[in-house]
Chain A
C-alpha cells in the first residue's frame, strides 16, 4: 500500500488523493473557523504543518522504544509540546497573526490530522517516509485552507490578503474598492458553503481524471 509510493508520490498523495481537508475531512474545526481571510488560512496551515512535520519525525524516531499501550499519551505529549512552541513563537515573532488566530493555535493539539498521521503513518513507517508524508499533508492542508480563505475573503470582502505584519501588507482589492461585501461569507455559514463547493469541485475533477 503506502510503502510502494515513490518519493514524489508520497508528497502528492497528501496534496490530492488523501488531502486532509478535501478527502479525509479531518481537522475541520480550525479549517472552518479561521479561514475568513487568505492570510489567516496560510498562517494556520503553516502553524499546523510545523507541528505535523516535527511530530511525525519525532514519533517515527521514538517508535521502537514506545510501548504499545502508552503510545497515545506519548503522541499527545509530543504534539502538545510542539503546539506550545508554535504558540510561544507566534506571540514573540508574529504578534498580529497570533492575535487573529487566537485560541485556535492551542487547539491545534486536538487537530485530528496530526493525531491521525501519527497513529496511521508515523508509527508504522520509516523516518524519511514519515517526513515526506508530513510534507505532503502540510502542503495539502495549507493549500486547502488558503483556497478556502481566498474564496471567502474575495466574495465576502472583495480583497485578497497574502501578507500582513504591522504596516506592511500585501493586499489586493480584487473586486474594486467599492465592493460592498457579502457578510455571510465571512461568518461561519460561509465556511460551510465554500467548503461544500470545494468538495464538489474536487470530486468532479477526480471523477473526470479517473474516466
Chain B
C-alpha cells in the first residue's frame, strides 16, 4: 500500500473511532449534565425566593414557591424572569439581570423580588469575572445582608459614594455600582411589568431571552 493511502486510512479510521466513542459518552452524560444544570438553577432560585418575612442573606430557608420556576419563565427585555408560585399565586420573581459596566465585562445576577411589596428577597451572583478578593466580595452574604430584606423605598439604592445608602465594597466601587445596576433592572421590572409577570405565557423549553 502506498504511504499516502495508508496515511489517509489510518487517520480516518482513528478519527472515526474517536467520533463514535465520543457520541456514546455524550449520550450517556448529557442527561446527567442537564439535570445538574437544572438543579443548579432551581437551587439558585430557591436562594433568592426564600420562605421568610425578612430574609437574612446568610441563612438558608426553604423555598417560598411550590412550582418549578425554571419551567415558568418569561422574558422582559433581555432579562429572564422566573416566576415562583404558591398554589396559583405568584409569590416572588427571580430576575436574571445583567449588571452593566462591571470592572471586567458584565455580571449576571439572579435578583429575587417579593411580589407583594417589592422587597429584595435575595441575591445570587451567577457569572462574573471580577477581581478575586475585591470585586468577588459581592458574592458574600455579609456584603449582601445590607440589601436583602429591604423594600424598594426603604433605602436609597445607590452606593454611599454616590449619595445613597449602600456601602460599596472597599476597593471595588465599580463592581458595587454594577451589582446595583442589575438590582435596579429587577426592581423596574417588578414596578413596570406587572401585567407581563401576571399574564405572559411561559417560555417554551430551550427558549432563551435575547432582548427582543
Contacts and interface: CB of A to CB of B under 8 A. Distances in A.
Given A36-B132, A183-B134, A66 B10 contact: yes
B204 interface: no
A106 interface: no
Interface stretch (A24-32, A44-52, A87-95): A87-95
A7 interface: no
Identify the 9 closest CB pairs spanning chains A and B, nearest first: A92-B32, A92-B29, A183-B133, A91-B33, A81-B18, A95-B36, A88-B29, A92-B33, A70-B7
Contact of A74 (B14, B30, B132, B133): B14
A204 interface: no
Given A183-B134, A186-B132, A187-B133, A77 B14 contact: yes
A69 interface: yes
B62 interface: no
Interface string A73-110: 11001101100110011011101000000000000000
B34 to A, nearest CB: 9
Interface string B18-60: 1001100110111011001100100000000000000000000
A176 interface: no
A67 B10 contact: yes
Interface residues of B, number: 24
B212 interface: no
Interface residues of A, number: 25
Contacts of B15: 77
A65 B11 CA distance: 10
Contact of A181 (B14, B21, B26, B133): B133
B18 A77 contact: yes
Contacts of A73: 11
B36 A186 contact: no
9 contacts: A65-B10, A70-B7, A70-B11, A91-B29, A91-B32, A92-B30, A92-B32, A92-B36, A95-B33
A62 interface: yes
B18 A88 contact: no
A62 B6 CA distance: 14
A77 B13 CA distance: 11
B37 to A, nearest CB: 8
A60 B33 CA distance: 32
A183 to B, nearest CB: 4
A65 B9 CA distance: 10
B3 A88 contact: no
A172 B14 CA distance: 46
B193 interface: no
B3 to A, nearest CB: 6
Contacts of A81: 18, 21-22
B133 A186 contact: yes
A91 B10 contact: no
Given A95-B36, A181-B133, A74 B11 contact: yes
